[in-house]
Structure 1
Amino acid sequence: MSEKEKMLHGKPYKASGEELVSERQYAKEMIFDYNMLHPNEDCKKNEIIKGLFHNIGKNFYIEPPFRCDYGYNISVGENFYTNYNCTILDCAKVTIGNNVMIAPNVSIFTAGHPIHPELRNQSIEYAFPINIGNDVWIGGGVIVNPGITIGDNVVIGSGSVVTKDIVSNSIAVGNPCRVIREITNDDKQYYFKKLKIK
C-alpha cells in the first residue's frame, strides 16, 4: 500500500512519500496563483478552484488568502462562502454541504499526529474525514479537528475548538465546543441577540 493509499484509508502514513510531496507541491503552486490574482479576476480564481477541488457547486466565493494540502479531497455544495485565511488540511475527505458560510481564520484539520513522541519522531501522521452539513455558519477563528461531523443548520460560535460531533439544528460554542441550545422557529424573529427583524 502506498503512503497515499494509507492516508486515504485512515492508516498511519508518512507525508514524505514521493507522490504526496508532488501532489502537495502542485496544490501549493495553484493556491499561490489563486492568492496572487487581482481582486477583479474572479473568473480566473474560480477556474483554479474548479480544477483543484474534487467538486464545487454553483455560486461559491473563497476570499484569499486560502490554503489547502491537496484540494482533490475537498467537495463543496452550492452557495459556499469562506472569508479570509481559511485553511483546509484535506489529507482525508472534507465534505461541505449547501449554503455554508465560514468566517475569517477558520481551520479545518483532517490531519493529526500520534500522541507519543517516539511515533511522532518517525514522521507518522493520520487523517480522518470531516463532514459539514447544509446551512451551516462557522464563526471566526474556529478549529475543526479530524473525524468530525457537523450536522445541518448548525452555528459554531467564534473561537470554538470542535473535538466532537455536533448535532443538527444547534448552536455550539467553546473550547471544547459543545451544544448550548437548539435552534427553533423563535430565532426567525431576531438578527442579533434580542434585536428583532422588523
Structure 2
Amino acid sequence: MAGSERAKMAEGEWYTCLDAELEVLRAAAADAVFEHNTLPLRQRGNLGPALKALLGGVGEGARIEAPFHCAYGFNIHLGDGVFLNAGCTILDTATVRIGERTLLGPNVQIYCAEHHKEASGRQVGLEIARPVEIGANAWIGGSAIILGGVTIGDGAIVGAGAVVTRDVSANTTVVGNPARPVKRD
C-alpha cells in the first residue's frame, strides 16, 4: 500500500480518486449501503449487517436511517447512541468521528474531500482528504453541510442549512452560510 493512492489519501496527501483500488473500495461501500437502504426495517435494525461490518467503528445503539450514502465507510466511527436521520451523506475520504449521543438531522452532508483548485488537477482526479470530528452530545440540524478539516465541539449545535467551514467550539450554536456563532439567551 505504500505509495498507493489509498495510502496518500490516508496520509492527507494529494491523491487521484481515479484509481482502480479506490474504485473497488467504493464499490464495496456501495454494495453495503444498498443493502442497508433496501432491507426492510425489521430486518435491518439500526444498521444493515454489511454496513455495520464496513464502518470503522459502531458504538452501542448507533442508528442510521435509510437512505444513507458514504464513499468508503471504513473511515466512519460512530459513538454510542449516535443517530443519523434519513438522507445523510458522508464522503469519508478521511476519518469521520461522531461522538456519543450526537444527532444528525435529515440530509446532513459531510464532505472530507477537497478537489484541486486548478482545472488540470481536477481533470486527473486530484483531491486531498481532510478529517471531520464531531464531539459528544452535538446536534447537527437538517441539511447542514460540514466541510473537511472541521472539528465541532461537545454539545455544539449547528443550525439547519448551515455550511460549516471552520471549527465550532464546544457548547456553541452556529447558523448560516458560512456558519457563524449566535448568542444564546
TM-score (norm 2): 0.95
CA distance in 2, matches of 1:20, 1:153: 35
Map of 1:195 onto structure 2: none
Matched-pair contact (CA < 8 Å) for 2:71–2:93: yes
Deviations 1:126-184 (A, max 9, x none): 111000000000001000001000001001000000000000011111100011125xx
Structure 1: which 4+ aligned runs deviate by more than 4 Å?
Answer: none
SS of corresponding position for 2:42: coil
Pairs within 5 Å for 1:35-184: 35-43=37-45, 45-181=47-183
CA displacement 1:34-60 (0-9 Å, x = unmatched) = 101012213483423320101010012
Query: Unpaired runs of 5+ in structure 2?
Result: none
Contact 1:172 1:180 in 2 (8 A): yes
CA shift for structure 1 position 2:
0.3
Give how far 1:112 is off: 1.5
Distance 1:75 1:52 in 2: 10
Write the distance in 1 (CA, Å) between the matches of 2:82 and 2:62: 5
Q: Which amino acid aligns with 2:32?
A: M
Write the distance in 2 (CA, Å) between the matches of 1:42 and 1:61: 10
Q: Is the 8 A contact 2:29 2:51 kept in 1?
A: no
Give the TM-score taking structure 1 as reference length.
Answer: 0.89
Question: Gaps (5+ residues) in structure 1?
Answer: 188-198
CA contact (8 A) 2:36 2:44 kept: no
Matched residue type, 1:89: L
Cα contact 2:116–2:126 (8 A) shared by 1: yes
AA of the residue aligned to 1:18: A
- Partner Cα distance (1:104, 1:175) in 2: 18
Structure 2 CA distance for aligned equivalents of residues 59 and 98 of structure 1? 10
RMSD of aligned alpha carbons:
1.4
Partner of 1:190: none
